[in-house]
Structure 1
Amino acid sequence: MRVDLIADFLPRMLMQGLPVTLSLVALAVFIGFFIAIPTALLRVHPLAAVRAVPYAYIFFFRGTPLLIQIALVYYGLSTLSWVRHSPILWSVLREPYWCAIIAFSLNTGAYSAEILRGAIQAIPRGEVEAAQAIGMRGWLLIRRIILPRAFQIGLPAYGNEMILMVKGSALASTITLLDITGVARNLYARHYAPLEAFVTAGVIYLVLVALLTRALRLMERRLSRHLLGPQETELAQDR
């Protein structure tokens, strides 16, 4: 392994590929989160007919590979004549960046919705009944009690989904995007140094995941401060 090549590849990946990867993941997680909230609420609706549509959406995006979903958005939708003749749709779907955002957002939205659905159903019934006893109903109950508690319960699983999204973003390189993996593939083709190129990319992904894991752990501790004793709270704050 040539260390000089790694030292040459690293700045290129950080300057060219890292901003693309970070923007892809950040936008997809942001959009997917707001897709997940109404989808999860519909998944716990008492009427089976209402639950059917979000169930079908979640079933498809959890049951098919992310690579297939990217290909359907990037290659599949462009073959539809009404898409090509729509100025708005075609201006979006002809760009690989936005096609990746759409596929990633729908994918992580489905997984996040199922995580949130399980978290909502895991909320102790007594907490909901106590809120209802003081007059909370409808959206107020959802906004003040159900969603905050569901997010607290589901945060560890949701954190895993965010980490998977960071790693899954490498598939954006299959539609010509120069993210970290895309830059690594170009450097490999140019210098014929696969080990150096992909080891450098792997190290960057490892650092990103480590930083995200640390941030999620701090968030979990912050949200669970009321469950810790005085000594554990001081220890968590010191960390």
Structure 2
Amino acid sequence: MSPEQLLAYVLDPDLLERYGARFVDGLLVTAKLVAISFTLGALLGMLLALARMSRSLVLRRLAAGYVYFFRGSPLLAQLFLLYYGLGSFKGFWQDLGLWWFFREAWYCALLAFTLNTAAYQAEIFRASLMAVAPGQYEAAKALNLKRSTTFFKVVLPQSLLVAIGPLGNELIMMIKASAIASLVTIYDLMGVTKLAFSRSFDFQIYLWAAVLYLLIVEVVRRTLKHLEARLGRHLN
């Protein structure tokens, strides 16, 4: 088989014309879902990390229970629990004025991904904060810096440098895990792939999806590697 024939076999022009635009739309939905949930998860994860390091026993136990549940149960189960489980209490949510949220698969998926990644990011942030040398705290105290200034100007920048690698891994895992959003009727990249395959029955559709996921992950990996090298250049 010649290279031209092989290319035509895996990249049918007619199929590409029919579904190419849909794949771009699905790719944008995936990027939007991952970007928003990862960002919100980072904010919640930092709060959870601080709660786990708090002097309050109640806060520590609540944060630990949250992390235990969302790291210990499958993301798919969490998504179904939110969309099909909580979404079944229509009257209750209508009384609270929140039915607009729980009736939409997009919002439920966004919430599920945010809550899930927050648990993982909480442990990443906690470990990175604990990795900061105690001498940094002592130096800030000796300079009579406020606790907020010490955290935001001294501790947090150093901890983020430690956390960027694990956070990058978590982001990549989220990109790949985002495919399950298609199970609740969201037309992300995998949702569009399933729709296109159901109409064409051409297996190369799934090959396109695999290549696109691979390209996204590679772009993210290279970007994070460059960012990590740039931020840590003073350590070399």
TM over 0.5, yes or no? yes
Q: State the match for 2:96 in structure 1.
A: 86
From 154, 169, 174, the equivalent of 2:163 is 154
Asked if 1:39 is matched to 2:48, the reply is yes
Distance 1:129 1:198 in 2: 56
Q: State the match for 2:217 in structure 1.
A: 209
Secondary structure of the structure 2 residue equivalent to 1:198: helix
Asked if 1:119 is matched to 2:135, the reply is no
Q: CA RMSD in A?
A: 1.5
Asked if 1:182 is matched to 2:191, the reply is yes
Q: How far did 1:25 drift?
A: 0.6
Shift in CA distance, 200/8, structure 1 to aligned 2, threshold 3 Å: farther
Asked if 1:61 is matched to 2:94, the reply is no
Distance 2:42 2:133 in 1: 23
| Paired AA for residue 70 in structure 1 | L
Q: How many aligned residue pairs are there?
A: 226
For structure 1, which runs of at least 5 residues remain unmatched after alignment? 229-239
Tell me, yes or no, if the aligned pair for 1:111 and 1:161 is still in contact at 8 Å. Answer: yes
Q: State the match for 1:77 in structure 2.
A: 86
Q: How far did 1:28 drift?
A: 0.4
Distance 2:34 2:213 in 1: 12
Q: How far did 1:8 drift?
A: 4.0
Tell me, yes or no, if the aligned pair for 1:6 and 1:200 is still in contact at 8 Å. Answer: no
Q: State the match for 2:147 in structure 1.
A: 138
Asked if 1:222 is matched to 2:222, the reply is no
Asked if 1:173 is matched to 2:165, the reply is no
Tell me, yes or no, if the aligned pair for 2:23 and 2:193 is still in contact at 8 Å. Answer: no
Secondary structure of the structure 2 residue equivalent to 1:68: helix
From 160, 184, 200, the equivalent of 1:191 is 200
| Paired AA for residue 208 in structure 2 | T
Secondary structure of the structure 2 residue equivalent to 1:85: helix
Q: How far did 1:13 drift?
A: 4.2
TM-score (norm 2): 0.91
TM-score (norm 1): 0.90
Distance 1:14 1:220 in 2: 31
Q: State the match for 1:236 in structure 2.
A: none
Q: State the match for 1:231 in structure 2.
A: none
Q: State the match for 2:104 in structure 1.
A: 95
**Percent same amino acid at aligned positions?**
35
For structure 2, which runs of at least 5 residues remain unmatched after alignment? 1-8
| Paired AA for residue 104 in structure 1 | F
Tell me, yes or no, if the aligned pair for 1:78 and 1:84 is still in contact at 8 Å. Answer: no
Shift in CA distance, 76/225, structure 1 to aligned 2, threshold 3 Å: same
**Which runs of structure 1 show a deviation greater than 3 angstroms over 4 or more consecutive aligned residues?**
5-10
Distance 1:82 1:142 in 2: 41
Distance 1:153 1:9 in 2: 45
